[in-house]
Structure 1
Amino acid sequence: MTPDQLQPSSFDRYPPLARSFAVEHLALLRQLPLTICPSFLAQISDLDTRFPIERKTLAWQCDSLAALPQEKRDALLAPLRAIAMAPELEKLDWVNSPAAFVERLSAHLWSTGQINGFHDASRDLFAAIPDQPNEATRLALIVVGQSADTSRASILSKLARKGIRLNGVNPATAQQQLLEAFAKHAAKGQEAYAHWYVDGGQPWVLPESVRASAIQVSYPQLSPLRKRVLERMQSILNTNQANAEKMRSDLAAIAPTELRSGQVASDPILQRFYTELFTSGSGTQIFSTSFVQWAGRELARRAQPHTVLLRYTPRQRHRGFNEMVSDPESKALDPEGSLVDAEMNAYYNWIEMGRIAAPGKLTVLAWVEGSSKAVMVSPKTKPNTISNQAVTIEQALASFAVV
């Protein structure tokens, strides 16, 4: 089958929302070459368990491409049609297994030296899609340094170069005021999946006013999923075919139902998201710091939150990879190494939130837990500045946050 032969019945095995979306956009799908159509179907087939903003974004992309003048759309698709396809690829069931097809296609493009041309053509195609309206004001609160030595002046130095370093924060009120700031910002909008609190350890207690609208998740909370993924990893390591590529592909193929994700969340969208934090994440199965960073990264990329609180706590000490997989519950923690990880991760979190925020619409505040040190980055802060003035978190946000 080729895309121009697609019929409404082609999607009979899709879940309800995915099937409806595919049929609605059938005219566009029929015009796409085989090199790109399965990539769209891979997203469409998962829509029933994707965040609302992901559904909205895909609809925007499809509608925008469909609205292009025929000549322009044909010109953009021509380089993708020109890519030489292996005959065995064309025989695959790319409609019902689009993700597997995309993986095989990628290997083919690399092996035949066509990958750069494919990337260039894909980039040009998506560059023709206008940006979606984006007026949300976003707030990212980050906490690092629990149980670590926080005396050095260079803490959070990479992030501090982008904003103001606050050396006089009142630590006695910081935790409560961070939670209050989270609740206050979240109260501005009631969109589903727009407000998140991710904790690497035992979480703080959110204000009652925000518990119904915000999603709270922690590393200990998802321990059942994590342990089951580690068991799969151990099984792969025990085979004679264990390698990084097999580990990645085998984990990516795990469905939420296989991990009994319903034990940690009743919402199918959250079941999928939590599962993929461990099946697709880098180091999330072993280190709490990696879990928080990856969760923040994926939330920015997929859920595009308006409010996010990320709290890094001490992870286990580094050991041999096989040992950490087979014995993941080490009690030996590394607060100092965890702080170093969290400092860099906080910088990455700022970058990732910046990618989804409209210009002038993002405030980031990172506090070193238990200390008087914090860093703020917003349109109201000047890069690489320092304040030694006594200040509370509430006052700092009042002075520098985007309202």
Structure 2
Amino acid sequence: MLPSDLKPEQFAGYPSQARKLAVTHLRTLQQLPLSFLPVFLREVIDYDFRFPAERTAIDHELFTLSSLTPAQLKDWFQAFLQLSLSPKLETFDWINQPAQFVEQLSAYLWTTHQLDAFREAAVTYGNRLQKGAPEQIAVRRLGIAIIGQGVASWNEPLFLNLRKHGTYFNQIKPENGVDLLLAAVEARAKAHPVPYGHWYIDGGHAGDHSSLLSCVSFQKMEPLRAALLKDIQTETAKPGMGPEELRSHMARLSSVDLGIDKTGDDVLERFQVKLLTEGSGTQIFSTTFVQWTTREVLRRAQPVSLFARFAPRQRQRPMNELLSGSGTNLELDPVGSLIDADMAAYYQWINQQRLPHSEQSSFLVWFEGHKHALAISPSLPRGTESSSPLDLGQLLSLATG
């Protein structure tokens, strides 16, 4: 079936808000090429479970496309129209299974040497769409990364990738550092309440925090992680279950499939499942979990506050032991986790810089329990070092002032 044949009843399987959105804009969807539409429907079908920032982006995209004339639409999608698709793709149920269609589309474009053309078309389309996109935010963005939990001493230099971008502080007063930083984020959430706009991510047990913060922690998700690892073991034992088949299976899983009780927050619940089913290593290593979660939160929710605290991960063991989840006395690796988290903090800052108004944002990384920290802010010089004896609250005020 082609997009021009779309009818309202074909979206009956979509969640309520996604169905209403698709039917409302049916005329526009009918004019889009098959090489593009399922990619967009992959976003639309999960509309009910997406963060406000994602919904705003989808709304903007539909508003923009609906405002184009047929001639303009043809111009915008000419490069997509030139791509050839197989009859198998045309008969696929791309309306109800857009994600699976996109997987097959990617494979087909690669085997027919059209992937570069698709990528170029997508980049051009994205650049056009970005013009006029809403970019207002409630307050200047702030990112915080706390690394090195459990490391008694470390003599090697930290934050090397970030030093040229900010000020390195070598005499920070570490007392009550976590509490001071978390309290500051909670104050921001109270002063600028934004749904899913203020986050607390913890690689261990999350501390006491305000309900105004969206919180995800490695330990709290232990039942979900255990259920997923058990499901992976069951599936990999089946004949013919290879990596690609397992990936597709995991992409379809929900918390109900994994036997996890509903929490009342469908958006956050779906997000947590995606963290484990789409991330590599997030089910096993806490440092990987925090790194991937910060990436996804920044990419999807686009928060104005993000507080990420890394915790020691378990040491490497044979993969079959890691996947089995066996062993109650796991050996932790604080030093290895510090090295991981140091690089992850750099990635966190990079991902923050990809968001609108990044030139006005602030970022702080601190070696937990120690006197070393680094702050990046429009109000601080770059590539410098300071020996000012500040506590973490004072440093944060300096970075966000």
- Does TM, normalized by the shorter one, top 0.5? yes
Matches within 5 A, 1:88-103: 88-103=88-103
Count of residues in correspondence between the two structures = 397
1:351 paired residue number: 350
1:297 paired residue number: 295
* Alignment deviations for residues 350-378 of structure 1 (CA, whole Å, 9 cap, x no partner): 11111114143311111111111111111
Residues 172 and 371, structure 2, Cα contact 8 Å, conserved in 1: yes
Q: 2-side partners of 1:9 and 1:201: how far apart?
A: 46
Q: 2-side partners of 1:70 and 1:125: how far apart?
A: 16
Q: Displaced runs of 4+ in structure 1, greater than 4 A? A: none
Q: What amino acid sits opposite 1:185 in the alignment?
A: R
2:135 paired residue number: 133
- Paired-residue identity, %: 36
Q: 2-side partners of 1:241 and 1:158: how far apart?
A: 44
1:159 paired residue number: 162
2:223 paired residue number: 224
Helix, strand or coil at the partner of 1:88: helix
* Alignment deviations for residues 334-355 of structure 1 (CA, whole Å, 9 cap, x no partner): 0000000000001111111111
Task: Please give the TM-score of this superposition, normalised by the length of structure 1.
Answer: 0.94
Residues 259 and 275, structure 1, Cα contact 8 Å, conserved in 2: no
Q: 2-side partners of 1:349 and 1:231: how far apart?
A: 30
Task: Please give the TM-score of this superposition, normalised by the length of structure 2.
Answer: 0.94
Q: 2-side partners of 1:212 and 1:389: how far apart?
A: 34
Give the superposition deviation at 1:91: 0.9
2:188 to 185, 189, 192: 185
* Alignment deviations for residues 89-119 of structure 1 (CA, whole Å, 9 cap, x no partner): 1111111111111111111111111111111
1:363 paired residue number: 362
Q: 1-side partners of 2:271 and 2:304: how far apart?
A: 18
Q: What amino acid sits opposite 1:195 in the alignment?
A: H
1:393 paired residue number: 392
Helix, strand or coil at the partner of 1:96: coil
Helix, strand or coil at the partner of 2:320: helix
Q: What amino acid sits opposite 2:215 in the alignment?
A: Q
Matches within 5 A, 1:250-399: 250-262=249-261, 265-329=263-327, 331-399=330-398
* Alignment deviations for residues 245-281 of structure 1 (CA, whole Å, 9 cap, x no partner): 3332221121222023335x32111111010111001
Gap regions ≥5 residues in structure 1: none
* Alignment deviations for residues 13-70 of structure 1 (CA, whole Å, 9 cap, x no partner): 2111001110121121111000111111111111111112111111111212222354
Q: What amino acid sits opposite 2:101 in the alignment?
A: F
Q: 1-side partners of 2:175 and 2:83: how far apart?
A: 62
- Larger CA deviation: 76-85 vs 242-251: 242-251
Give the superposition deviation at 1:306: 1.1
Helix, strand or coil at the partner of 2:271: helix
Give the superposition deviation at 1:71: 3.0
Residues 194 and 305, structure 1, Cα contact 8 Å, conserved in 2: yes
Note the aligned Cα RMSD (angstroms): 1.7
Residues 262 and 271, structure 1, Cα contact 8 Å, conserved in 2: no
Distance 1:246 1:96, change over 3 A: closer
Matches within 5 A, 1:20-35: 20-35=20-35
